[in-house]
Each structure stands twice: as C-alpha cells, then as structure tokens.
C-alpha cells in the first residue's frame, strides 16, 4: 500500500522567479523526469515513429516560437527553470507537454510505423451541475492517470504571481500545471486524447496555466480558441457561478459543449464524430478502459445530492475508475483532484485514490 502526503510547492513573484524557485527545489527530479520523457519520445511504442534524440529535440525547438507567441510570461517561467536546472528550453517544453508532443511526432516525424496502435493515459473527469450537488454548489473532479513511473513526481503548486490570480495546480515536478483552480473561481481539468493531426504548436500545460491567469470563464474559453494546439486534449472548465464547459480540442478541430442539467463526463476517446476522424488507432484494452470508465462514471453520478466526499469515492471506484498498473503499459491513477470553485476549495490526493487520503486546501 502506498501511503504518502502530497508535497506542496509554494511559488511567488515574477514568472521567471517562480520558474527558478521550482527548478532549484526539484533539480534532481526535473532532470530525471525530463530524461525519461525524452527517451519515451524516441520510443516507437509510444510515438508510432522512429526518431533519434536529435530529431526529437529539433521538433521541440520548433515549438518554442509558438509558445513565445501564445504565452510569453509562462515562457519566462520555463526560462527561469532552465537557468536553475541547466536544461534546455526545448527539453523542458517536451517534458511539460509530452502527451501532446507525441501527437506532433506522430503527425510530422519521419519513418512511420503504420498500423502500430499507441497507448494513452486514462483520466476520468466530470463536471457536476449545482442543482445535483447537495449544497447547491457545482463541483469538478478527476483522476490523473499516467505511467506508474510518474507517481513519485506528483506535487501541488500554490502559485502567487505578481500580476495574475493566485492558484493551485495539481502537477508533477518541472511541469507548469495540469489540473487547477484560481482565486477568481476558474477551474480547469483535462483528459488526454490521441490525435493524428498533431502539429508544431502549444503544449496543453501552457493552455491550462493561461486559463488559470483569467478572471472570467469567457476569457478562459478564449485561451483555447486562440491556441495553436500541438496535440489533442479534452478540457473541462468551470467558474464559481457553476457554469461549465467541456471542450474536445484536437489540433485542427475544437468543439465546445456547455453544461446544462446533466453532469458532463469525459475519458480518453472523442465523443464528437468530427473529432473521432482525427483520432489514431488505440490498443484495444486502452479503448475498452476509456469506454468502461465513461459508463461507470455516468452510473455513479446518477446519485442525488452529490458531495465532494461522494466524488472522492467515485475516484476510488475499483470496477473501472481507479486504475492500477498492469503490464504491458503500467498505467495507473497517480492521483486525483476535486474542486468547488464557489468556495475556493481544492481537495487532492497523491497516488492511488483507493490507497491514500485526500487533503483539503483553500485559496
């Protein structure tokens, strides 16, 4: 049994200063995780392409200009981390956005290996409308599933930028953000998707952090509309008034669905026919897991009077949602997060939700 508390990293100041603090605090771990992601980016079992390390880094370099154009302040954060760790900007961009970056490799890289189905992360995410919550305040929840080797790197960042809202983001060492909420009541979560239309563009983590810079849900949605996305992800957005959106975002096609009377659920396959045509082939077990988790989450969310504690139990569900590592892909639920933006409350758990306790944080 894994028993551990979530490490909290407090960052404050300019974006450069925040990145430098992050890099100095987790110097060794950032080096190890970056090296791991660079190796996987050269592994055809993950990318469907056979590329050398030099070719991988060249694609990472090609993405830098798009990031500078989209979020220059966050690139200052990466620059601070690079100065603190001695790693290159391209290396850190690849590590941050690995699951988008392999979509870029798949679409652009040479020496295709046709017919090779690829693995995918297995996150389960949901938005709960206010009228189905016990206290009338809307809720967000999700597991974060990845290769089990990522679990030791999970942290929670408490960020206080000098010119943007304070935020929490559930993430990993060296990564600017993955799942989060700011003190303006904007929260965002994600599911990975596997796109065949990847391109030189912006990695999903930077979209998440730009969303956490916003004060309104409309501006948060604009962060997605204006991004030249490198790869496919599904984004779930909510504000403190209980308004919510699910955004299925492939590099060349984006679909926005507004939360109405029913909970919005998403796992790791596209639900929109236009986007299904942009998905690449999946391993059968991975695709079955995505469908089973979507079905199971829908069943569990039919209960009346949803509370944060009930969502925690859903993330612990042994039937489908709390994923345990098994060969050959060794994907597991590395953690989970629950958010209630109306009260600025954030619950998070490190490691398998079924084996660890959630911790409570307030902005």
- Distance in Å from the first CA to the final CA of the chain: 31
CA–centroid distance for 233 within its chain: 8
Which residues are paired to 168 by β-bridges? 158, 181
Per-residue pLDDT band for 6 (boundaries 50, 70, 90) equals: very high
Predicted pLDDT of residue 100? 95
Is residue 116 over pLDDT 80?
no
Per-residue pLDDT band for 121 (boundaries 50, 70, 90) equals: low
345-350 and 154-161 as β-strands: parallel, antiparallel, unpaired?
unpaired
Average pLDDT over residues 124-128: 98
Instruction: Give the whole-angstrom CA distance, residue 224 versus residue 204.
Output: 10
* Maximum distance among all Cα pairs of the chain, rounded to whole angstroms: 55
Is residue 114 over pLDDT 90?
no
Tens digits of per-residue pLDDT, 151-164?
A: 999 999 999 999 99
Which residue has tokens 């990975």? 192
Give the count of beta carbons closer than 10 Å to the beta carbon of residue 58: 12
Is residue 293 over pLDDT 60?
yes
Per-residue pLDDT band for 349 (boundaries 50, 70, 90) equals: very high
Predicted pLDDT of residue 1? 38
Predicted pLDDT of residue 43? 82
Instruction: Give the whole-angstrom CA distance, residue 95 versus residue 89.
Output: 10
Instruction: Give the whole-angstrom CA distance, residue 51 versus residue 223.
Output: 31
Tens digits of per-residue pLDDT, 36-77?
A: 999 988 887 777 777 899 999 999 999 999 999 999 999 999
Average pLDDT over residues 2-27: 92
In 138-181, alpha helices (H): none
Tens digits of per-residue pLDDT, 239-269?
A: 999 999 999 999 999 999 999 999 999 999 9
Mean pLDDT score across all residues of the chain: 94
Quote the strand ranges of 65-218, DSSP E.
125-128, 139-147, 154-161, 167-172, 179-182, 187-192
Exposed e or buried b for every residue in 309-337, given b needs 16+ CB within 10 A?
ebbbebbbbeebbbbebeeebebbbbbbb
Is residue 115 over pLDDT 70?
no
171 Cβ contact list (under 8 Å, min separation 6): 154, 155, 156, 157, 177, 178, 179, 180, 205
Is residue 109 over pLDDT 90?
no
Closest CA to 102 of 142, 63, 71, 150: 63
Predicted pLDDT of residue 51? 86
Predicted pLDDT of residue 284? 84
Closest CA to 118 of 109, 127, 126: 109
In percent, how much of the chain has pLDDT > 70?
95
Phi then psi for residue 58, to 5 deg, are -65, -40
Assess contact for 296 and 320: CB atoms under 8 A.
yes
């Amino acid at each position: 049994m894994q028993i551990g508390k979530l490490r909290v990293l407090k960052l404050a100041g300019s974006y450069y200063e925040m990145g430098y603090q992050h890099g100095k605090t987790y110097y060794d771990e950032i080096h190890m995780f970056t090296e791991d992601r660079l190796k996987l980016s050269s592994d055809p079992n993950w990318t469907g392409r056979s590329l050398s390390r030099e070719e991988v880094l060249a694609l990472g370099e090609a993405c830098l200009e798009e990031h500078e154009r989209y979020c220059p302040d966050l690139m200052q954060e990466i620059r601070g981390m690079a100065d603190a760790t001695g790693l290159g900007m391209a290396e850190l961009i690849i590590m941050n956005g690995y699951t988008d970056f392999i979509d870029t490799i798949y679409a652009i890289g040479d020496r295709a290996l046709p017919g090779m189905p690829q693995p995918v992360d297995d996150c389960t995410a949901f938005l709960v409308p206010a009228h189905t919550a016990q206290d009338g305040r809307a809720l967000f929840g999700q597991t974060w599933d990845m290769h089990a080797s990522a679990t030791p790197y999970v942290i929670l960042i408490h960020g206080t930028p000098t010119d943007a809202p304070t935020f929490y983001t559930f993430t990993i060492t060296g990564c600017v953000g993955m799942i989060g909420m700011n003190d303006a009541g904007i929260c965002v979560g994600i599911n990975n998707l596997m796109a065949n239309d990847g391109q030189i563009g912006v990695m999903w983590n930077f979209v998440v952090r730009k969303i956490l810079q916003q004060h309104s849900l409309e501006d948060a949605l604009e962060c997605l509309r204006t991004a030249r996305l490198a790869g496919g992800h599904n984004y779930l957005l909510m504000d403190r008034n209980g308004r919510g959106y699910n955004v299925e975002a492939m590099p060349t096609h984006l679909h926005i669905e507004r939360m109405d009377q029913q909970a919005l659920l998403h796992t790791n396959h596209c639900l929109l026919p236009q986007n299904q045509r942009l998905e690449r082939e999946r391993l059968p077990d991975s695709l079955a897991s995505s469908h089973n988790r979507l079905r199971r989450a829908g069943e569990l969310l039919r209960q009346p009077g949803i509370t944060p504690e009930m969502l925690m139990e859903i993330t612990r569900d042994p039937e489908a949602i709390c994923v345990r590592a098994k060969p050959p892909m060794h994907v597991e639920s590395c953690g989970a997060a629950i958010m209630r933006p109306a009260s600025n409350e954030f619950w998070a758990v490190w490691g398998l939700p079924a084996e660890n306790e959630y911790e409570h944080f307030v902005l």
